[in-house]
C-alpha cells in the first residue's frame, strides 16, 4: 500500500487532469455512481464525521429545477453534463457520530454550538467533495466543479427542511477534450510553500 503511484496514475488524477465544461453524449450509470460513492467515502474526515451529502442531478426534471440557480454559462454546462453533483453538508452531521466514531462522545462540542458545527461540516464536507473528484478521475470520469450559483436557491429547491446546505457543484461525465482551453498556470513551490 505504501508505494508511490505510477506517473500515469498521477497524470490521470492531477498532472494532466482538467476541469471540463463540455461533455460527450455518454451516460454515467447508476452502478458507477454507487461505485464512486463507495470509493470516496473512505477518505478521512475529523473523527470520521462524514458530513458531506450528495444529490446526483441526472433527470431532465431535476436539471430544470437546478437551472435557475446557476449563473452565466454554468447553466448550459450543467444541462449538457450527464450528471451534476450538488455537494452539500448536513448541518446536523454530529447526530451520526455515535455510530461513525463510537470511541467517545465526539458530538458533544457541536450540540448547542451551530457555529462550530457549521465550520466542521463545511471544512470536512469540502474535503469529501475533493475526494469525490479524485475518485471520479480514478474511475475514468471527468469533473467540472462550479461555484457560480445561488446557494440559497439551491437549498430552498432541493433541501426544503433546511438541514442540508449546498457547498459547490460538480458536473461528472466524459469530457469533450476538443473544447478544453489551454491549462492555466500554477504557483511555484516557492510562491506557495514554506519549509519551516
CA angle 100, 104, 110 (to 5 degrees): 75
* Residue 182 counted as domain residue: no
Burial class of 193 by CB neighbour count within 10 A (0 to 12, 13 to 18, 19+): exposed
Give the Å distances, CA to CA, from 32 to 6, 10, 49, 139, 173.
24, 21, 24, 8, 11
Q: In what order do the strands lie in the sheet with 164-173?
A: 52-57, 83-90, 164-173, 142-146
Q: pLDDT for 167-186, tens place per residue?
A: 999 999 999 999 999 999 99
Domain membership flag for residue 24 = yes
Is a pLDDT exceeding 80 seen at residue 119?
yes
Q: How many domains in the chain?
A: 1
- Asked if 170 and 132 touch (Cβ cutoff 8 Å), the reply is yes
15 occurs within a structural domain: yes
Task: Say if 185 falls within a structural domain.
Answer: no
Helices 114-138, 30-40: inter-axial angle, 10-degree rounding: 120
CB atoms within 10 A of CB 184: 7
Instruction: Tell me if 102 sits within 8 A of 6, measured CB to CB.
Output: no
Residue 194 lies in a domain: no
Quick check: 1 pLDDT over 80? no
Q: Which domain holds residue 39?
A: 7-176
What is the CATH number for 131? 3.40.109.10
Going from the C-alpha of 128 to that of each of 6, 24, 121, 132, 149, the distances in angstroms are 24, 26, 10, 6, 20
User: Does residue 195 lie within any of the structural domains?
Assistant: no
What confidence category does residue 2 fall into, taking pLDDT thresholds of 50, 70 and 90? confident
Reported as a single tens digit per residue, the pLDDT across 54-93 is: 999 999 999 999 999 999 999 999 999 999 999 999 999 9
The answer to whether position 1 is within a domain reads: no
The Cα–Cα gap between 173 and 144 comes to 9
Residue 152 included in any domain: yes
Of 109, 69, 105, 61, nearest to 86 by C-alpha is 69
Amino acid at each position: 500500500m505504501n508505494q508511490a503511484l505510477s506517473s500515469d496514475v498521477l497524470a490521470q488524477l492531477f498532472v494532466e487532469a482538467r476541469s471540463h465544461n463540455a461533455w460527450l453524449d455518454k451516460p454515467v450509470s447508476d452502478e458507477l455512481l454507487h461505485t464512486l460513492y463507495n470509493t470516496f467515502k473512505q477518505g478521512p474526515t475529523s473523527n470520521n464525521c462524514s458530513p458531506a451529502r450528495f444529490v446526483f442531478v441526472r433527470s431532465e426534471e431535476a436539471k430544470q429545477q437546478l437551472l435557475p440557480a446557476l449563473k452565466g454559462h454554468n447553466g448550459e454546462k450543467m444541462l449538457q453534463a450527464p450528471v451534476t453533483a450538488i455537494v452539500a453538508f448536513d448541518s446536523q452531521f454530529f447526530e451520526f457520530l455515535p455510530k461513525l466514531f463510537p470511541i467517545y462522545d465526539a458530538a458533544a462540542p457541536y450540540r448547542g454550538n451551530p457555529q462550530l458545527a457549521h465550520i466542521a461540516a463545511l471544512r470536512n464536507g469540502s474535503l469529501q467533495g475533493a475526494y469525490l473528484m479524485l475518485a471520479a478521475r480514478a474511475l475514468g470520469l471527468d469533473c467540472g466543479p462550479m461555484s457560480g450559483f445561488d446557494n440559497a436557491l439551491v437549498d430552498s429547491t432541493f433541501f426544503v427542511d433546511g438541514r442540508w446546505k449546498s457547498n459547490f457543484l460538480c458536473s461528472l461525465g466524459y469530457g469533450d477534450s476538443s473544447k478544453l482551453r489551454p491549462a492555466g498556470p500554477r504557483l511555484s513551490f516557492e510562491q506557495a510553500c514554506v519549509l519551516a
